[in-house]
Amino acid sequence: MTDKLPWLALRSIPGVGLVLFQRLVQAFGSPAGVFKASWEELRFVWGVSPAMAQVIASFRDWHLVEAQLGRLKAHGAEMLTQEDPGFPPRLKEIPYPPPFLFMRGTFTPEDDLAVALVGTRTPSYYGLKACRRLAGALAGRGFTVVSGLARGIDTAAHEGALAGGGRTLAVLGCGLDVVYPRENKQLYEKIPAKGALLSEFSLGTPPEAKNFPVRNRLISGLALGLVVVEAGVKSGTAITVQYALDQGREVMAVPGPIDSPTSVGPHSLIQQGAKLVREVEDILQELPVTATLGPPRATETAPCTRPVADDPLLPFIGSEPIQLEELVKASRLSPAEVLSRLTLLELQGLVRELPGKCYVLEN
């Protein structure tokens, strides 16, 4: 029996949640000590019913637990307990920390410098661009970017970190063998080489709604600070913000257009005292490790600036998508000339076409 088996076995017993797990380990010194305790000793622990005490005292299904570890290894993953040197130290400090994590990839000492970027699953182009830019800039300054691999802002955070040459940690609300959402399969495969996929859910666990608030506390717990990029007031992001505040993490927010529903969450946080983030330096100023950081790496994403070009269409194209018809009307040029100029601007890398014949300035 390996030293990890008691951890997994104890957590698998129905009714042994995070609170009771912690209480039992404190009472008997370790998960292995819990299984050595008698029925009478177990009954002295508050919250342990006679039936649960009997299940623990008579536990014999070690082969089933060992099979779970075998499947984990076959999947290219491992299990880290709080006693393992590689367990994220910051997670040990949060209320009701996970007893163990399942991991694909690596957690390194440099991941102690981490910032979480979170937000809506239905972002605007502005939100995606802002998130990727901030994530790339954080990577360029040596920070690991943490998020939840959900579609939208989470995806942009991971992509921006990898594009910036940095590391990223993705905390899943399902088992490590479940790719969710399916469109992130390529990103799911990339992350372990430059960071890690993390979960406290066993293999095969589906992405049920109840799992995501649980995983959100780990997203904020792994980071020094949390940055919100586009979100509603009542959302999963709001839950993550509350966890961050409870854990003593810095909370920051990226402002957006005042008429956008996805700006409501960040603007509400800013009104309540969250730091307004326009660029990566705004984030660094709020973190306790800023003074120890060196200059930006060469891979850091450059600030977004409008390219210098002499074209009558550029004054009408900004960070928000504009439709072809609107460009024709605003510029007073013929549709044929507008399309010709847009093609040249795209070839120069100054403008990008989005679905629906919409155009935005490229970074």
pLDDT in tens, 237-274: 999 999 999 999 999 999 999 989 999 999 999 999 99
Indicate whether 163 pLDDT > 70.
yes
Mean pLDDT (the chain) is 91
Q: Considering the entire predicted model, what is its pTM?
A: 0.84
Banded model confidence at residue 300, pLDDT cuts 50, 70, 90: very low
Provide the token pair at 183: 């469109």
Banded model confidence at residue 341, pLDDT cuts 50, 70, 90: confident
Model pLDDT, residue 305: 39
Task: Give, in order, the Cα–Cα distances in Å from 357 to each of 250, 321, 322, 353, 354.
Answer: 40, 9, 8, 7, 6
Model pLDDT, residue 293: 57
**Beta-ladder partners of 197:** 104, 170
Provide the token pair at 98: 């996970």
Count of CB atoms within 10 A of residue 289's CB? 12
Range with the poorest average pLDDT among 3-7, 100-104, 294-298 = 294-298
Distance of alpha carbon 238 from alpha carbon 71, whole angstroms: 35
- What is the mean pLDDT of the segment spanning 13-21? 94
Indicate whether 306 pLDDT > 80.
no
Indicate whether 115 pLDDT > 50.
yes
Banded model confidence at residue 93, pLDDT cuts 50, 70, 90: very high
Can you tell me whether residue 197 is helix, strand or coil? Answer: strand
**Beta-ladder partners of 114:** 144
Domains of the chain are 1-73 (1.10.150.20), 109-292 (3.40.50.450), 314-361 (1.10.10.10)
Indicate whether 37 pLDDT > 50.
yes
Indicate whether 310 pLDDT > 80.
no
Residues 336/330, Cβ–Cβ less than 8 Å = no
Q: What is the pLDDT of residues 166-214, one digit of tens each?
A: 999 999 999 999 999 999 999 999 999 999 999 999 999 999 999 999 9
Provide the token pair at 85: 């040197």
